[in-house]
Amino acid sequence: MAALYDRYSPVVYSVALRVLGDTGGAEDVQQDVFLQLWRNPGAFDASRGNLGAWLAVISRNRAIDALRKRRPESDLENVVLSVVPDMAGDADRSRIAEKVRGLLGTMPTPQRAALEMAYYKGLTHTEIAAKTGEPLGTIKTRIRAGLTALRKAFQE
């Protein structure tokens, strides 16, 4: 477990920290994520994707739960994901991170803002619409377009 921790804790911790904005909370989320994996290693479905990507999503979800002060909404087993690019190596992850950051940089500001509010703050489309004064449908479309733009960039 120490080896898994050494390999994946930077991404697990940084996602939680980005969401929560406080190191203590991020540490708690990280602890919870790795303990869950230790207790239930079968929750990770290796036939569907990369462990690092899965842990990153679990960490983001748990951090949002903590931010919104709610109980974890889903079991680990229910978080199934498939990732297009291969993230096996450190070099792959660095390349992916760079590409995603580049893409976010070129995204229209309203689209990126909607995506980041939903992703890093866990705001519902209704809350984002209230904040920005945009119609609900527009917010939904922007969030979806932002996420799928990432996928397309890696399918090319």
Tell which positions 97-156 bind other proteins, by CB under 8 A: 97-98, 100-101, 104, 115, 118-119, 122-125, 140-141, 143-144, 147-148, 150-151, 154
- Positive or negative: CA dihedral 113, 122, 21, 27: negative
Smaller CB separation from other proteins, 48 or 75? 48
Q: Which residues of 80-94 are buried (b: 16+ CB within 10 A; e: fewer)?
A: eeebebebeeeeebe
Q: Which C-beta is closer to other proteins: that of 113 or that of 125?
A: 125
Dihedral sign (CA 49, 51, 56, 60): positive
Binding mask of the shown chain, residues 56 to 75, with x at each position contacting other proteins by CB under 8 A? xx-xxx--x--------xx-
133/155 with CB nearer other proteins: 155
Q: Which amino acid is at 151?
A: R
Q: Give the 3-state secondary structure of residue 103.
A: helix
In 3D space, the residue among 113, 116, 107 whose CA is nearest the CA of residue 153 turns out to be: 107
Nearest Cα to Cα of residue 112 among 143, 133, 151: 143
Give residues 19-58 in contact with other proteins (rule: CB under 8 A): 23, 26-27, 30-31, 34-35, 38-54, 56-57
Q: Of 20, 67, 76, 96, which lies in the binding site for other proteins, with binding defined by CB under 8 A?
A: 96
Which position among 18, 131, 132, 134 is part of the footprint of other proteins (CB under 8 A)?
18
Among 66, 87, 107, 129, binds other proteins (CB under 8 A): 87
* Phi, psi dihedral angles at 62 (to 5 degrees): -70, -35
50 vs 113, beta carbon nearer other proteins = 50
We find the least distance from the C-beta atom of residue 68 to other proteins, in angstroms, to be 9
